[in-house]
Amino acid sequence: MLTFDNCGIYCAQADIYIDPWKPVNKAVITHAHSDHARIGMGSYIAHEHAIPVMKYRLGADIKCQALKYREEIVINGVKISLHPAGHIWGSAQVRLEFKGEVWVVSGDYKLQKDSISAPFEPVRCHSFITESTFGLPVYKFPDPQEVHDDINSWWRKNQEEGKNSVICSYALGKAQRVLAHLDTSIGRIYTHGAVDNINKLYEENIAALPVTQRIDGSVNRKEIKGAMIIAPPSAADTPWMRSLQPYKLGICSGWMQLRGTRRRRGADRGFVLSDHADWDQLNTAIRETGAENIYVTHGYKSIYARWLQTNYGLNANEVETLYTGEGLDDTLDTETGKE
Amino acid sequence: MKAFSELFTNIDQTTSTNEKTDALVNYFATADEQDTIWCVALLSGRRPKRTVKTSELWEWSGELSGLPTWLQAESYHIVGDLAETISLLLPPNNETHDHALHDVINDLMDLANKDEQQRKAYITGMWKQFNKQELFVFNKLITGGFRVGVSDKIIIKALALHYKIDENVVAHRLTGQWVAQNNTLKALLAGNDNSVDLSKPYPFYLAYPLEAAPEELGSIDDWFIERKYDGIRGQIIVRDGALFAWSRGDDLLTEKFPEFHDLVNILPGGTVIDGEILPVRDGKYLPFHVMQTRIGRKNVTKKALQEAPLVMVCYDLLEHNGIDIRHLSLQERRLMLENLLEEIKKEHTVPLHISPLVNCNTWGGVSAQRLCSRDHSCEGLMLKRKNSEYKTGRRRGDWWKWKVDPLSIDGVLLYAQRGHGRRADLYTDFTFAVWDGDELVPFCKAYSGLTDKEMAEVDAWVKKNTLDKFGPVRSVTPTLVFEIGFEGINPSPRHKSGVALRFPRILRWRTDKSAKEANTKADLVELLNIYGIGERK
């Protein structure tokens, strides 16, 4: 039912693309990160919470159809519905059914609960398209609550030493997740403009977040002391960041599991916190779909496909796409280009 | 283990030299005496002999994790560190137990006398008692190589702070062959531990590259100019009827250098000479690689001794008649060295040459001499202030090295492999090729020289332009051109291109050049003819 062509994942029966990377007429979007929601589509279908971000990033005039989770639409006989992917708020798996055959495109997903996005729900299907960003057994993420506790004690320690704490994380998704778990009794929280813009969208559409102060021209940098600052990765090593000295830099990413990448990024602290599935989560998710055919996209795709074939006897294939997953060095992070 | 593992984490989690020093001082102050000396031994590269094979670690950990061999191998390619990979693949432990660091090390050393069954029982038993971080440190104890970003300088500073001893003294006490077993830092640093040995070398004084124009160093009359040889920096020590030859890497290489053995009867007791160890033939110094093969071998062959006997080009005298004379001026030390060599040469033929002074009256003359360094098989010049004392470690001010610019050639990126350490999971180990007609011939590997940003860019490019995968290696569309710099070029029958380069590294990414514009094999051969020094057939 689905094929992969040079524009993206295509459903010929419905004449619709999922997360296309070239301009097409009709697109279903799994989530609003820039490697999945691109500019130039004739029209977009996405979860209602993804649409405000897409309009903010891609233009207020884009043509959108908002769906709730599990709400079904039919296009030329193909039943299409969205199901929680747990990746970021408004992220969805796309379920397509035609004449009894079911495919699910998962986009990016995680099984950990983060309290800011609807938790992942397994969807039974015949064919499942999965990411494999962390599809290697060395990636076993710790309990997120432990990580949030670590972040808070790190903040407290830095504050005692008279230093600010800067956390670099994606403006969309991770930043709200980190923010929602900060212990606001420790001190004041500041945000970079790129993060603040997305926070506002979250608060307008979903729920309140802890009180933060946007660092703009009106803020006297000398008054920022022992504070927590949430910034996008692209702000690292910029004059903006240097104006916050003295500070300690923490990076929240699944890549922080490896010592080499942690050291390469030159962060003072790496926190293993990811919005993607780790090894165990991927294996659990795939088994719960009951799918026989697995298409493995962005990540350690050849290794992970081989594992699915040899260990579970699944018909697993690797597929080339232009999705980038969780970028360590952020070459994709256009989401911060707005500021 | 808990305390040492925490120290390791604290050091690993900071890039600040001060914080690393503080963490060490804190550890010295609180940890067990028998543990702290092991900590210093490990961090300064004195690891116990390895008693467990890599293949055993894979096999046993595979049984615990249930993962197939191929997946272990893929994981290792990506993590780039054996100890870390195994610690990540092992199942997590809910309960942990602490063991003293020195006990663990002694147990590991004892495994040398145990059979496989016993070794397996010990290792797998320990694997079930540690948390992830401790597992990593434990595996590092097995595999060796503690690279945690703690330089000798930091260790010395921390010890000096904690024990309130002068840094230069600490540096000296830490050189040579001391052992951690049945020893304490207190005794070692006081110089009265039972492992004090005659072989103890002095910490080497090292130079920084010249940063400004030589004219800014003042009057040329205040400076000695010598050539910078490309050999092994070493110290030859004769004390109490015994001879020792040390390399700068703190390796005792006496056995590898039989040429020097007779010196034990010739040099007066209490002599320490600093110099460069080099192969020589027909009065001409030979390139480093001629000696390289013999260093790696267990026994020195007769053939090697005949074809490329070693000499030391001597440039400093550190101990004379048993007295440490490092505080004297270079001018005085050099005079004593010259007299010493002159005296013994009256009666003996010795493999000791004095490093000749390059006579220049102006800095312009020095510049000109530098440019003909390669004619002397040298890397450049050394500039040393005549009144300089012999310092400890790398210092600015009195000694400078002034190397010639590297040779260079533009090569096409042909293969990329994932790196290790901080480059793990990035395609940063490259093989470059030059044109031979329509064919690309690989001529060197290089992995340093790019900025972090460039590394990320090339890594992303490699992933998108892969032609084929062979294990951890990818072949890529020949497109990117890099300027490769190197210090020397020599013929090599082992390489397809017929040449071997010395110290190749990336000078810059030639984004302005297409693959077609890269250099050719003929260009390499031309450089070989000009600068190469052939080995005898």
Which of A57, A22, A56 lies closest to A41 in space, CA to CA?
A22
Q: Is B22 on the interface with A (CB under 8 A)?
A: no
* Contacts with A306 from chain B: Cβ below 8 Å: 70
Q: What is the distance between the alpha carbons of residues B251 and A152, in angstroms, rounded to a whole number? A: 46
Chain A residue with the nearest C-alpha to that of B423: A260
Radius of gyration of chain B (CA): 26
List alpha helices for B16-113, DSSP H: 17-30, 33-43, 54-65, 69-79, 82-89, 101-110
Helix axes B167-174, B152-163, angle to 10 degrees: 120
Q: What is the distance between the alpha carbons of residues B210 and B225, in angstroms, rounded to a whole number? A: 13
Nearest CB among B14, B70, B425 relative to A258 is that of B425
User: Residue A325 above 90 pLDDT?
Assistant: no
Q: Is A293 on the interface with B (CB under 8 A)?
A: no
Which of A236, A270, A289, A25 lies closest to A150 in space, CA to CA?
A270
Q: Which two tokens stand for residue B77?
A: 């390619």
Burial B484-523 (b: 16+ CB within 10 A, else e): bbbbbbbebeeeebebbbbebbbbbbbeeeebeebbebee
Q: Is B423 on the interface with A (CB under 8 A)?
A: yes
User: Residue A86 above 80 pLDDT?
Assistant: yes
User: Residue A334 above 50 pLDDT?
Assistant: no
Domain B205-403 identical in fold to domain B407-531: no
Nearest CB among A258, A300, A310 relative to B79 is that of A258
Nearest CB among B424, B452, B469 relative to A258 is that of B424
User: Residue A24 above 80 pLDDT?
Assistant: yes
Q: What is the distance between the alpha carbons of residues B304 and B310, in angstroms, rounded to a whole number? A: 10
Chain A residue with the nearest C-alpha to that of B86: A138
Report DSSP letters for A244-267, one per residue.
Answer: T-SEEEEEE-GGGGSHHHHHHTT-
> Going from the N-terminus, what domains does chain A have, and what CATH number goes with each?
2-139+275-336 (3.60.15.10), 144-271 (3.40.50.10890)
pLDDT confidence bin for A322, thresholds 50/70/90: confident
Give the number of beta-carbon pairs within 8 Å between A and B. Answer: 72
Q: A307–B426: do the CB atoms touch at under 8 Å? A: no
- Which residue has tokens 């970021």? A88
User: Residue A266 above 80 pLDDT?
Assistant: no
A88-133 pLDDT, tens digit each: 999 999 999 999 999 999 999 999 999 999 999 999 999 999 999 9
Q: What is the mean pLDDT, run by run of 10 residues, along chain B of 537 residues?
A: 92 87 96 94 89 96 96 92 95 90 95 95 96 94 83 93 93 87 89 70 94 92 95 94 89 89 95 95 81 75 82 97 96 97 94 95 94 88 97 92 92 88 77 92 89 88 86 88 90 83 91 91 88 52
Q: Is the peptide bond before A246 cis (omega within 30 degrees of 0)?
A: yes
Q: How near does any CA of chain B get to the CA of A306, in Å?
A: 9
Q: Cβ(A45)–Cβ(A80) under 8 Å?
A: yes
Q: What is the distance between the alpha carbons of residues B516 and B166, in angstroms, rounded to a whole number? A: 59
Q: Tell me, which fold does domain B2-143 have in CATH?
A: DNA ligase i, domain 1 (1.10.3260)
Q: Is B65 on the interface with A (CB under 8 A)?
A: yes
pLDDT confidence bin for A285, thresholds 50/70/90: very high
For an interface test with B, which of A259, A301, A304, A307 has the most B Cβ atoms less than 10 Å from its Cβ? A259
Nearest CB among B70, B81, B423 relative to A264 is that of B423
Of the options 3.30.565.40, 2.40.50.140, 3.40.50.720, 3.90.870.30, the CATH number for the domain spanning B407-531: 2.40.50.140
Q: Is A77 on the interface with B (CB under 8 A)?
A: no
Q: Is B148 on the interface with A (CB under 8 A)?
A: no
Burial B80-116 (b: 16+ CB within 10 A, else e): bbbbbbbbbbbeeeeeeeeebbbebbebbeebeeeee
Q: Tell me, which fold does domain B205-403 have in CATH?
A: D-amino Acid Aminotransferase; Chain A, domain 1 (3.30.470)
Q: A331–B89: do the CB atoms touch at under 8 Å? A: no
pLDDT of residue B424: 67
Nearest CB among A138, A302, A311 relative to B79 is that of A138
pLDDT of residue A328: 55
Q: Is B421 on the interface with A (CB under 8 A)?
A: yes
* Contacts with B71 from chain A: Cβ below 8 Å: 137, 303, 307
Q: 3-class SS at B521?
A: helix
Q: A263–B79: do the CB atoms touch at under 8 Å? A: no
Q: B425–A260: do the CB atoms touch at under 8 Å? A: yes
pLDDT of residue A4: 94
Identify the helix (H) or strand (E) that includes residue A308: helix A301-312
User: Residue A336 above 90 pLDDT?
Assistant: no
Which of B418, B1, B449 lies closest to A260 in space, CA to CA?
B418
Q: B460–A331: do the CB atoms touch at under 8 Å? A: yes
Q: How near does any CA of chain B get to the CA of A278, in Å?
A: 13
Compute the C-alpha angle A87/A89/A95, nearest 5°.
65
Which of B205, B253, B234, B197 lies closest to B314 in space, CA to CA?
B234
Q: Is A214 on the interface with B (CB under 8 A)?
A: no
Q: 3-class SS at B141?
A: helix
Q: What is the distance between the alpha carbons of residues A229 and A155, in angstroms, rounded to a whole number? A: 10
Supply φ then ψ for residue B253, to 5 degrees: -110, 20
- Which residue has tokens 């020093």? B21
For an interface test with A, which of B11, B74, B455, B459 has the most A Cβ atoms less than 10 Å from its Cβ? B74
Q: What is the distance between the alpha carbons of residues A152 and A258, in angstroms, rounded to a whole number? A: 22
Q: B15–A136: do the CB atoms touch at under 8 Å? A: no
Q: B71–A303: do the CB atoms touch at under 8 Å? A: yes
What residue segments make up the domains of chain B, in order of their start?
2-143, 205-403, 407-531
Q: Which residues of B are catalytic?
A: 228
Q: Is A283 on the interface with B (CB under 8 A)?
A: no
Nearest CB among A255, A264, A306 relative to B452 is that of A264
* ipTM associated with this complex: 0.91
* Contacts with B424 from chain A: Cβ below 8 Å: 258-261
